[in-house]
Chains A and B, each alone.
Chain A
Amino acid sequence: MIRTLPRSKKYNISLKMYIILFYVFLFAPLVITCILAFNNSDFPSLPWKGFTLDWFFANNEHRVGLFHDVNNLRSIWISIKTAFIVSILSLIVGTMGAFLFEQEEFKFKQALYFLTLAPLVIPGVILGISILLASNSVGAFLEEHLGIDTPLFAPGFWLVVLGQFSFITTFVVLVVSARLKKFDRTLEEAALNLGANRFEVIWHITLRYLKPALLGGGSVAFLMSFENFNTTLFLVGSEPTLPINLYLQVRDGSTPVINAISFLMIVFTSTLALINLYFSNKKDE
């Protein structure tokens, strides 16, 4: 049964087999994607035709590696830009939300908190289309009544940023609140008694204490934005983010360049995830 109890051999072996199978199931698609990024074949499939770095570096008439693939490089750059802006925005508003819900008392607090959690139960696709509709209405209104043509409200970069910001902020609120709950408020009172104002207290004491949660929340926000597909799908204009760009390529038949991108994404996100884990472990100490 458990560690402290005697276990039959059959039980031990079958449970272990089960766990091994589970981890194989978990990692098989990722491992195979990475391996095929280095296969010297024009298709992302076996047989193994030898090791190559062509899918990263080649630039000839037969093969264009990732680092010379303008289209893919551009979408990576757009994704990084989007994720960066989204994480900054959601970190600011999310932290304010955490302060609001943890440290302030006001009317309708429960209702507002409930709204904050709403993005958790709204499917991403719905969030995308509702923001698309609303911004379209605003854009149409402005054009009809004021005669201003605003590209800001048409699908495109800023709409993607807004769409992702709308639900990622919720996660930042949750991450920062969790840390803020453990904060000893007598420290704030002490500082206030010593003559600091509220903002000095927040700046010098509370935010310092929150730093691990802010870094953790920021990296979660970055990753969520970087890989978001469902909400983004409806809001992209002529500048697709990486997941949307990859989706179009995968749907219409793929080359090992996609494996090369996937390989880099796996390395990059695992690193960021480990950094995040490091900070969240530190948080518990």
Chain B
Amino acid sequence: MKHAKLGFYIFLIPVVLWLFLLIVIPHIDLLIMSLRAENDLGELVWSLQNYKNFFTEPIYWVTFVRTAVYSILVTIITAIIALPVSFFITKVVNPRFSNFLSILLLMPFWVSELVRVYGWMILLRESGVINHFLVKLGILNRPIEFLYNDISMIMVLVYTSMLFMVVPLISVMESLDDHLIEAAYDLGASTKDIVFKIIIPHAKPGLTSGSIVVFMLTLGNYLTPNLIGGKNSLWFTEQIYTQFIASFNWNQGAAFGFLLLILSTLIIWIALKITRQNLSKVVQ
């Protein structure tokens, strides 16, 4: 058994080192950093000043609330778009195509987010492809700027996170027994009843895990709000970036980072509690 014990430590030590050196300690450092601020003499002291700044400066908390609300909105839109798609792929289309369609679905998401966002910029901007066709077809006299507004930003955010909703939905839909729907149909249930009383309740676990991931990724997104939303669309990650890189106020940035971390874990925790699931089940 001596070998087995040795083996155990050989597995344990790298894993513990990874988790503590790269996950736990940096986050403790983040918390400590956020609680330090300069006093009148320019010395670093313990203080809640960074958190106070957040609440007294409307631009900070307004951006924070905006980011949270928009992330929830993006999550809901993603779910509404993804439900029929996953249903179609698993239940409606000829089984021969269903595999092909799912592979096709995955392909764009392997490509870097930056490339996908860039693709949307080429499509949407004033000199972009969509404007080119609209002017050519005579629908517009002059190109319009489609970029740099909230609607395009939300659309691209939905696009970016679509995969993380569709994949769990496809896997729950696959486990839905066709006979249930047939039985309901034979008993005269309407399509609406089948959707709301059979399909959606069955899809609920996939819907929750998808929503959690989409919400988290949208909340922490930096590229899309920055490139598509532009200066008009403030996102909280941009505030963090500004504090760190532009203002070089790391303590303030750390406080913002910690607030975002609390927000994301809190909302995910609530979502898990409401739907009575736990994290380790959701990720499987």
Which residues of A pack against B, CB within 8 Å? 1-5, 11, 15, 18-19, 22-23, 25-30, 32-33, 36, 43-47, 92-93, 96-97, 99-100, 104, 106, 112-127, 129-134, 136-137, 162, 165-166, 169, 174, 178, 197-199, 202, 223, 226-227, 229-230, 233-234, 242-243, 246-247, 250-251, 254, 258-259, 262, 265-266, 269-270, 272-274, 277
Evaluate contact between A123 and B219: CB separation under 8 angstroms. yes
Which 4 pairs across A and B sit closest by C-beta, in order of nearness? A123-B220, A29-B119, A227-B112, A130-B26
Sample of 22 A–B contacts (CB below 8 Å): A2-B92, A18-B85, A26-B105, A32-B129, A45-B122, A45-B132, A93-B18, A100-B11, A104-B8, A104-B11, A112-B15, A112-B16, A113-B280, A117-B280, A120-B283, A121-B268, A123-B216, A125-B237, A130-B26, A165-B18, A254-B118, A272-B110
Evaluate contact between B261 and A123: CB separation under 8 angstroms. yes
Which A residues touch B118, using CB under 8 A?
Answer: 29, 33, 246, 250, 254, 258, 262
Evaluate contact between A250 and B227: CB separation under 8 angstroms. yes
Evaluate contact between A251 and B85: CB separation under 8 angstroms. no
Q: In terms of DSSP, what is the predominant structure of the interface of chain A?
A: helix
Stretch at the interface among B47-55, B58-66, B178-186: B178-186
Min distance, Cβ A260 to any Cβ of chain B, angstroms: 12
Min distance, Cβ A215 to any Cβ of chain B, angstroms: 16
Evaluate contact between A133 and B29: CB separation under 8 angstroms. yes
Min distance, Cβ A175 to any Cβ of chain B, angstroms: 11
Beyond A134-B29, A274-B103, list 14 extra A-B contacts (CB 8 Å).
A15-B88, A15-B92, A18-B88, A33-B115, A45-B128, A93-B15, A96-B15, A104-B11, A106-B12, A129-B30, A129-B254, A229-B112, A265-B115, A272-B110
Q: A2-B92, A125-B237 are in contact. Are A243 and B23 (CB under 8 A)?
A: no
- Of all chain B residues, the one with the shortest Cβ separation from A6 is B185
The one of A99, A125, A166 that contacts B240, using a Cβ cutoff of 8 Å: A125
- Of all chain B residues, the one with the shortest Cβ separation from A174 is B283
Q: A106-B12, A130-B27, A250-B118 are in contact. Are A270 and B111 (CB under 8 A)?
A: yes
The verdict on B73 contacting chain A, using a C-beta distance below 8 Å, is no
Mark contacts of B171-213 with chain A using CB atoms, 8 A cut-off: 1 yes-contact digit, 0 otherwise: 0000000100110010000010010000000000000000011
Which residues of B pack against A, CB within 8 Å? 3-4, 7-8, 10-12, 14-16, 18-19, 22-27, 29-30, 33, 81, 84-85, 88, 91-92, 94-95, 103-108, 110-123, 125, 127-129, 132-133, 159, 162, 178, 181-182, 185, 191, 194, 212-213, 216-217, 219-223, 226-227, 237, 240-241, 244-245, 250, 253-254, 257, 260-261, 264-265, 268, 279-280, 283-284
Which B residues touch A93, using CB under 8 A?
Answer: 14-15, 18
The one of B88, B106, B254, B257 that contacts A125, using a Cβ cutoff of 8 Å: B257
Which B residues touch A226, using CB under 8 A?
Answer: 112
Which A residues touch B217, using CB under 8 A?
Answer: 123
Evaluate contact between A99 and B222: CB separation under 8 angstroms. no
Q: Which of A2, A115, A234 has the most CB of B within 10 A?
A: A2
Q: Which of B14, B245, B250, B254 has the most CB of A within 10 A?
A: B14
Which B residues touch A27, using CB under 8 A?
Answer: 108
